[in-house]
A and B are shown apart, each in its own frame.
Chain A
Amino acid sequence: MTMAFDYAPAPESRSVVDIAPSYGLFIDGEFTEAADGQVFKSLSPATEEVLSEVARAGAADVDRAVRAARAAFGPWSALPGSERAKYLFRIARIIQERSRELAVLETLDNGKPIKETRDFDLPTVAAHFFYHAGWADKLEHAGFGPRPKPLGVAGQVIPWNFPLMMLAWKIAPALATGNTVVLKPAETTPLSALFFADICRQAGLPKGVVNILPGHGDAGAALVAHPDVDKVAFTGSTAVGKEIARTVAGTRKKVTLELGGKGANIVFDDAPVDQAVEGIVSGIFFNQGQVCCAGSRLLVQESVREEVVDALKRRLSTLRIGDPLDKNTDLGAINSAEQLTRITELAERGEAEGAERWSPACELPSSGYWFPPTLFTGVTQAHMVAREEIFGPVLSVLTFRTPAEAVAKANNTPYGLSAGIWTEKGSRILAVAEKLRAGVVWANTFNKFDPASPFGGYKESGHGREGGRHGLEAYLDV
Chain B
Amino acid sequence: MPTTSPAARSAGDTSYADVTASDASLRRFLHGLPGVDTVGLEARAAALGTRSIKTTAKAYAIDLAISMIDLTTLEGSDTPSKVRALGAKGAHPDPTDRTTPTVAALCVYPDMVATAKEAVAGTGIRVASVATAFPAGRTSLAVKLADTEDAIAAGADEIDMVIDRGAFLSGRYLKVYEEIREVRAACGDRARLKVIFETGELSTYDNIRRASWLGMLAGADFIKTSTGKVGVNATPANTLLMLEAVRDFRALHGEQVGVKPAGGIRTSKDAIKFLVLVNETVGEDWLSNDWFRFGASSLLNDLLMQRQKLATGRYSGPDYVTVD
Contacts and interface: CB of A to CB of B under 8 A. Distances in A.
A378 interface: no
Given A3-B279, A5-B61, A424-B35, A275 B41 contact: yes
B52 A327 contact: yes
B53 A273 contact: no
Interface string A254-298: 000000000000000111111100110000000000000000000
Interface string B43-73: 1100000111111111011001000000000
A8 interface: yes
A115 interface: yes
Given A119-B50, A278-B43, A327-B52, A8 B57 contact: yes
B5 to A, nearest CB: 14
A445 B41 contact: no
B41 A274 contact: yes
Contacts of B43: 278
Contacts of B319: none
Interface residues of A, number: 28
B44 A269 contact: no
B75 interface: no
A303 interface: yes
Contacts of A5: 57, 60-61, 64, 275-276, 279, 284, 287
B13 interface: no
A7 B35 contact: no
B36 interface: yes
B37 A275 contact: yes
B52 to A, nearest CB: 4
Interface string A1-38: 00111111110000000000000000000000000000
Contact of B35 (A272, A318, A327): A272
Interface string A43-75: 000000000000000000000000000000000
Contacts of A6: 56-57, 60
Contacts of B40: 272, 274-275, 278-279, 444-445
A275 B57 contact: no
B283 interface: yes
Q: Tell which of A115, A275, A318, A328 has the most Cβ of chain B within 10 Å.
A: A275
Contacts of B283: 3
B189 interface: no
B37 A272 contact: yes
Contacts of A477: none
A356 interface: no
Interface in B234-275: 244, 275
Interface residues of B, number: 31
Contacts of B50: 115, 119, 327
Nearest to A319: B280
Given A274-B41, A278-B44, A445-B40, A10 B52 contact: yes
B203 to A, nearest CB: 17
B124 interface: no
B1 interface: yes
B51 to A, nearest CB: 6
A4 B285 CA distance: 9
A307 interface: yes
A444 B39 contact: yes
Given A4-B287, A5-B275, A7-B51, A444 B57 contact: no
B34 interface: yes
B35 A270 contact: yes
Contact of B36 (A7, A274, A445): A274
Nearest to B278: A5
A310 to B, nearest CB: 8
Contacts of B60: 4-6
A8 B284 contact: no
A328 B52 CA distance: 6
A115 to B, nearest CB: 7
B3 interface: yes
Contacts of A269: 3
B58 A271 contact: no
Nearest to A114: B52
Nearest to B283: A3
Contacts of A273: 1, 34
B47 to A, nearest CB: 8
Nearest to A424: B35
Interface in B129-186: none
A275 B36 contact: yes
A8 B53 CA distance: 7
Q: Tell which of A3, A115, A272, A303 has the most Cβ of chain B within 10 Å.
A: A272
Q: Tell which of B41, B58, B275, B280 has the most Cβ of chain A within 10 Å.
A: B280
B39 A274 contact: no
B57 A274 contact: no
Given A8-B54, A270-B34, A272-B36, 11 more contacts: A3-B284, A4-B279, A5-B57, A6-B57, A7-B52, A272-B37, A272-B40, A274-B44, A275-B44, A278-B43, A444-B39
List 10 tightest A-B contacts by C-beta distance, closest first.
A275-B40, A10-B52, A327-B52, A275-B37, A4-B284, A272-B37, A424-B35, A8-B57, A5-B279, A272-B35
18 contacts: A3-B283, A4-B60, A5-B57, A5-B60, A5-B279, A5-B284, A7-B52, A8-B55, A270-B35, A272-B35, A272-B36, A274-B34, A278-B43, A278-B44, A327-B51, A328-B51, A444-B39, A444-B40
Interface of A: 3-10, 115, 119, 269-275, 278-279, 303-304, 307, 318, 327-328, 424, 444-445
